[in-house]
């Protein structure tokens, strides 16, 4: 803005000039001084505005990371790029079997033009690099979609597995700092007292989950492009459902806890790893609800079974089937839905249907509600449900390989798209930890 003090000073100074020269000369001098000052102010303001705009642009569109494919983001341009990348990955796998270069498709060419800023950032030194870009894996959008598609899977952190069998170190000690006094001598016998470090380890062993589905060999660019989203969604749902089913109902013993998973069903995802319900049953971390719907009293008994793992509600999650959840809503006034606890936005992002005592409530259709009075499926009594309370920080997902696709052709002139994922799920603190507990014999009718 124009500096009025500057103008007044120049008027006073030039008033002296006016005494020895004409008023016209004085007025002209004042006019020139004001114009010069105004131009200087405009230039300075322009520099400030440009700097401010640059800062805002950097905050909104920061530097493109070379891991843009595998990192989750909230930037709309990067999200759009990742979705296009997933479509191109599927095109590459399907059309490659027919000898068609996916880079010749309209989908690829249009995407290259649309996403040039990101592709140029990825290929800063390669001439023509943006036209040579080839997707080699599914993006973070698929990972995020799995977490949203199956909310139980997303409750737990994920560790990347550098080897098929990976043993990350774990500190099991619960140390506490000591009171220290001001030292006046360099005496090692009176120095800082050493704490204890109790190390243990748990192992993650990659299991493979996958499926295949046919696509007509007549599928060409114009017909395959519109269904790329459906192929992607089908892969995501299939892997996500299998992982959640294994997390909730998995059992690796020869005779599965549920009679509907027979010995012949070695292919069932419920045989991938020991799940939460099996962990609780094997360690007697169970509470019978005596054919009653969930109540505060019963849920607190389940929480009590978890010991130190049941103290912090922020680390826990309460998982129910749909009918058990409806019963809990009717019977427990302490269960508050998102609109009641002000967590509407959080509910959309995390999937929590409600909270109980600060613990997020998750509803899963894969929580079996056809169990017997002992909390397992026996082909005879199929009347009861269950509830699981788990400490989320005590369990972890392992991921050796993200969702990948390949394509083969069978004798029926069909392409078979094969979707696979490799990983594991395990208790960080061992097979006997009280890190989850089960409420069984729950009334759901």
Q: How confident is the model at residue 97 (pLDDT cuts 50, 70, 90)?
A: low
Q: Is pLDDT at 14 greater than 60 in this prediction?
A: no
**Residue 399 pLDDT class (50, 70, 90 cuts):** very high
Q: What's the whole-number mean pLDDT along residues 235-258?
A: 93
Cα–Cα–Cα angle for 102, 105, 106, rounded to 5 degrees: 145
Predicted pLDDT of residue 54: 40
Residues 334-345: tens digit of each pLDDT: 787 765 555 544
Q: Which residues contact 219 (CB under 8 A, 6 or more apart)?
A: 94, 415
Q: Tens digits of per-residue pLDDT, 106-158? A: 888 888 888 877 776 665 444 445 555 666 666 656 555 555 456 798 899 99
Strands 165-166 and 207-216: unpaired
> Mean pLDDT of all residues in the chain?
77
| Percentage with pLDDT > 70 across the chain | 63
Q: Are 148 and 154 in contact (CB under 8 A)?
A: yes
pLDDT digits (tens, 9 = 90+) for 330-370: 898 878 776 555 554 444 344 567 889 999 999 999 999 99
Q: Over pLDDT 90: what percentage of the chain?
A: 38
Least confident among 12-26, 61-75, 248-262: 12-26
φ and ψ at residue 201, rounded to 5 degrees: -155, 155
How far apart CA 261 and CA 65 sit, in angstroms, is: 45
Confidence category of residue 254, pLDDT binned at 50, 70, 90: very high
Dihedral angle over CA of 356, 359, 364, 366, nearest 10: -110
Whether pLDDT at 2 is above 70: no
Angle of helix 4-20 relative to helix 23-60, nearest 10 degrees, comes to 160
Rg from Cα positions in the chain:
32
Q: Which of 27-31, 74-78, 215-219 has the highest mean pLDDT?
A: 74-78
Residue 72, Cβ neighbours under 10 Å: how many? Answer: 13
Q: Where are the domains of the chain?
A: 4-60, 76-131, 207-443
**Looking at residue 346, what is its pLDDT?**
45
Mean pLDDT of 59-71: 52
pLDDT at 58: 36
Contact 384, 443 (CB under 8 A): yes
Q: What is the pLDDT of residue 336?
A: 73
The mean per-residue pLDDT over the stretch 32-47 comes to 54
Provide DSSP, 62-75.
-PPPTTTTTS----
Instruction: Name, in order, each residue with C-beta under 8 angstroms of 410's C-beta and a sequence gap of 6 or more.
Output: 214, 416
pTM: 0.68
């Amino acid at each position: 803005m124009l500096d009025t003090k500057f103008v007044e000073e120049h008027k006073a100074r030039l008033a002296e000039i006016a005494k020895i020269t004409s008023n016209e000369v004085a007025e002209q001098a004042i006019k020139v001084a004001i114009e010069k000052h105004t131009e200087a102010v405009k230039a300075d303001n322009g520099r400030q505005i440009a700097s401010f705009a640059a800062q805002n642009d950097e905050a909104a569109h920061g530097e493109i990371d070379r891991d843009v494919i595998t990192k989750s983001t909230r930037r709309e341009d990067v999200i759009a790029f990742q979705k296009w990348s997933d479509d191109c990955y599927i095109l590459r796998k399907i059309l490659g079997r027919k000898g068609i270069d996916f880079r010749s498709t309209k989908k690829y060419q249009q995407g290259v033009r649309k996403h040039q800023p990101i592709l140029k950032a990825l290929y800063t030194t390669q001439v023509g690099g943006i036209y040579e870009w080839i997707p080699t894996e599914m993006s973070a959008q698929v990972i995020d979609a799995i977490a949203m598609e199956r909310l139980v899977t997303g409750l737990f952190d994920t560790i990347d597995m550098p080897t098929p069998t990976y043993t990350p170190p774990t500190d099991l000690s619960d140390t506490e700092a000591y009171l220290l006094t001001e030292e006046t001598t360099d005496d090692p016998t009176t120095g800082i007292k050493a704490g204890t470090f109790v190390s243990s380890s748990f192992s993650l062993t990659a299991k493979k989950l996958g499926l295949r589905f046919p696509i007509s060999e007549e599928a060409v660019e114009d017909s395959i492009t519109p269904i790329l989203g459906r192929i992607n969604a089908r892969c995501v749902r299939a892997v996500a459902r299998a992982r959640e089913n294994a997390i909730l109902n998995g059992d690796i013993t020869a005779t599965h806890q549920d009679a509907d998973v027979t010995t012949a069903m070695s292919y069932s995802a419920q045989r991938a790893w020991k799940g939460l319900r099996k962990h609780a049953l094997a360690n007697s971390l169970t509470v019978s609800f005596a054919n009653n719907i969930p109540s505060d009293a019963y849920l607190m008994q389940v929480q009590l079974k978890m010991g130190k793992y049941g103290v912090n509600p922020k680390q826990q999650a309460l998982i129910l089937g749909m009918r058990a959840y409806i019963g809990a809503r009717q019977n427990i006034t302490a269960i508050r839905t998102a609109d009641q606890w002000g967590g509407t936005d959080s509910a959309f992002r995390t999937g929590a249907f409600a909270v109980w005592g600060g613990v997020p409530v998750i509803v899963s259709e894969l929580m079996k509600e056809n169990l017997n009075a002992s909390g397992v499926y026996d082909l005879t009594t199929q009347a009861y449900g269950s509830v699981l309370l788990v400490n989320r920080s005590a369990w972890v997902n392992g991921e050796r390989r993200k969702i990948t696709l390949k394509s083969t052709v069978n004798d029926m002139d069909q392409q078979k798209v094969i979707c696979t994922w490799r990983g594991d799920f395990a208790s960080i603190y061992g097979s006997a930890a009280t890190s989850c507990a089960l409420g069984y014999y729950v009334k759901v009718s």
